Every structure is written in C-alpha cells, then in structure tokens.
Amino acid sequence: MKILAIGAHPDDLEINCYGTLAKFAARGDKVGVCVVSNGNLGHEEIAPDDLARIRLEEAKNAADIIGAEFFFAGADDLHVDPQNEKVILELARIIRGFAPDLVITHSDRDYHSDHNETYRSVFRASFAASVGHFDPDCPDPPAPSAPIYMMDNLTGVGFIPTEYVDITDYIDIKLRALACHKSQTQWMLDHDGIDFLDMAKTCSKARGYQCGVKYAEGFRPDVNYARMSASRLLP
C-alpha cells in the first residue's frame, strides 16, 4: 500500500498518527508525509522566516526516522484555505505523484482553523487530483480519489474514534520523531508548561485503554461516496 498523511503544521502528524505511519513503514508500505503550512508563527521569539526553515527541517528529520518521503504544500500559518488555488494545485500534484491508496489527515472539527481547513483542502485536492483537466500540465497521471481517514484531535477533545491502531511496539519511534521538533517542544515547555512528549504518550495510552492495548491511535473514516473501502486499510 501507499499511504499519504497530510498535516497542517510540522509536528501535527507526529502527535496524532506517527505510530501508525511507523507501523505501515515497518511492514513495507510506502509512506509519505506532507505538511501544508510551514509553522512560521509557532514561536514568539524566533522570526517567522527563520522559524519556517527550522520547522520544515525538523519535520523532514522526523520523516527520515520512519523512512517516509517528505512533502511541503507551501502555505504559511493561518493561511491554510481550500480556496487558495496555489496550495490546492500543489497538494493535488503531490497526490498525483504519490498516488496514495489511503490518505490520513485532520478531522473536520478541531481546535485550530488550519487543522479544519487542511481537512477541507485535502478533500478538495484529492478530488482535483483525479481530474486530469484540473492541472493539464502535471506530468503525473490523475490519481483515483483515495479513502480518507481522519486522525485524532489534539488530546482527543471532541473526537470519537471508530477504529484503533495498536502502536505499542511503535510508541518509542513516535516519540523520537516528535522529539525532532525541538523548536516546539522546548518552547511549549518553557512558555506554556506543556510537555508535548508526555502529552502524546499519555493520549496514546488513553486510546490504548479504550481498545485493550498499551498504546493506540484513533481514527475515523470519512464516510462519503467513493471514499469507502470494504477492506480494513489501517494496520
């Protein structure tokens, strides 16, 4: 299988689905991770242009840990918008080039507008990727609309999973990938008193309690025509 995970900011995927992505990669699947926004507003002291470079490099290092291919869709923080034609075109090209069997992204209801709009952007771009005349200059053929699975919200607020993935054997690599985001983990600890690594581990443990394993991640399929599969797609 080919799995493409698309997150709003650097570190979103690491928090919510990197255990699952690591599990996919370990069984030999091709995994791609795409960041829609560069995270340039995620710090009060580091200037946006500098922070964007730092955070994208951190995200690339995290992808390398699980052996995933890394992509960036070109948006700035708080400018993720399904009507941003440049970003939708880039997302659609990434999807056409990767041709995923499964797309994982944010839920359509989350605390951050960039998360919500990433879901809507992915929904639009993944359909656009199946329409050749949307981007006739793209060198890759159209990609069929893939099933979309929505990953957990931050700390699980308002999100009720319908499927779980046992990541007990992958919790350490998930945390190693998240630890690559030093610009965020240290800032959040110093500024807000939030330990991102502990938070991610605790949330994975809570989802594990819900499904009878030590650590898990929760998902919900996007129930729409032509987006469903009769087979289980999660590992």
Per-residue pLDDT of the chain (235 residues; tens, 9 = 90+): 999 999 999 999 999 999 999 999 999 999 999 999 999 898 888 999 999 999 999 999 999 999 999 999 999 999 999 999 999 999 999 999 999 999 999 999 999 999 999 999 999 999 999 999 999 999 999 999 999 999 999 999 999 999 999 999 999 999 999 999 999 898 888 888 889 999 999 999 999 999 999 999 999 999 998 888 889 999 9
- Burial (0-12, 13-18, 19+ Cβ within 10 Å), 134: middle
Residue 233 lies in a domain: no
Residue 209 lies in a domain: yes
CATH number for the domain spanning 188: value is: 3.40.50.10320
Residue 101 lies in a domain: yes
What does the block give as tokens for 87? 């970003």
Residue 54 lies in a domain: yes
What does the block give as tokens for 124? 């639009």
Total number of domains in the chain: 1
What range does the domain containing 111 cover? 2-221
What does the block give as tokens for 47? 């200037």
d(CA 202, CA 97): 36
* Cβ atoms of 156 and 202 closer than 8 Å: no
* Cβ atoms of 122 and 103 closer than 8 Å: yes
* Cβ atoms of 5 and 13 closer than 8 Å: yes
